[in-house]
């Protein structure tokens, strides 16, 4: 699938009128675009596929993850529906437990065609990840932790000592590119 096709799917889902099952019965919800939401891509996100920014009324997908995973149409569509469910839940319930991943949100998510899960199951359908700029390496056990931003604090290896920070197991920062 191409980025153009994904954009078309994004636009179609944002302009769909949904029927939501609520405690009061079936409720028709105007398209999320009519609720004031826009959509786009984040050039910053490299670990999360999507986000619904309630305050800005904006739904975003990670440009990096979408470009690397254009063949995972079902995962991308489910992520868009997941974020739309947040927007609808907030418009219905505001701060009354609607915008989190609780029962109200799950009911909305499932009724619009989302799987209703909080996170994508990477074991089931793994997503390609962008290369991390930094890797933290333990010189004792060779444990490696990928980071997209350079850490500002020293950290120690949790595999070598899980009790907390330990100067004996400081992680070395290596720049990958």
pLDDT band with cut points at 50, 70 and 90 for residue 97: low
pLDDT band with cut points at 50, 70 and 90 for residue 147: very high
What's the predicted TM-score (pTM) here?
A: 0.82
Average pLDDT over residues 49-67: 95
Q: What residues pair up with 50 in beta bridges, in sequence order?
A: 61
| Architecture, CATH, for domain 3-111 | 2-Layer Sandwich (3.30)
CA distance 153 to 141: 20
Tokens found for residue 99: 């915008």
**Would the pLDDT of 22 be above 90?**
no
CA distance 92 to 83: 14
Strands 38-42 and 50-53: unpaired
Q: Tell me the domain boundaries of the chain.
A: 3-111, 134-175
pLDDT band with cut points at 50, 70 and 90 for residue 100: confident
The helix or strand, by DSSP H or E, that contains position 39, with its residue range, turns out to be strand 38-42
Q: What percent of the chain is modeled with pLDDT above 90? A: 73
Strands 144-147 and 134-138: antiparallel
């Amino acid at each position: 699938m191409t980025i153009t096709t994904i954009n078309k799917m994004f636009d179609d889902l944002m302009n769909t009128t949904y029927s939501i099952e609520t405690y009061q019965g079936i409720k028709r919800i105007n398209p999320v675009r009519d609720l004031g939401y826009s959509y786009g891509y984040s050039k910053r996100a490299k670990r999360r596929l999507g986000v619904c920014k309630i305050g800005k009324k904006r739904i975003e997908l990670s440009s990096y993850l979408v470009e690397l995973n254009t063949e995972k149409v079902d995962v991308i569509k489910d992520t868009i529906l997941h974020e739309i469910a947040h927007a609808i839940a907030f418009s219905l319930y505001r701060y009354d437990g609607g915008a989190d991943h609780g029962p109200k949100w799950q009911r909305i998510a499932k009724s619009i065609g989302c799987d209703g899960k909080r996170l994508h199951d990477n074991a089931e359908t793994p997503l390609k990840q962008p290369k991390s700029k930094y890797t933290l390496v333990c010189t004792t056990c060779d444990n490696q932790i990928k980071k997209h931003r350079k850490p500002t604090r020293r950290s120690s290896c949790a595999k070598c000592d899980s009790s907390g920070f330990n100067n004996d197991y400081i992680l070395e920062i290596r720049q990958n590119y």
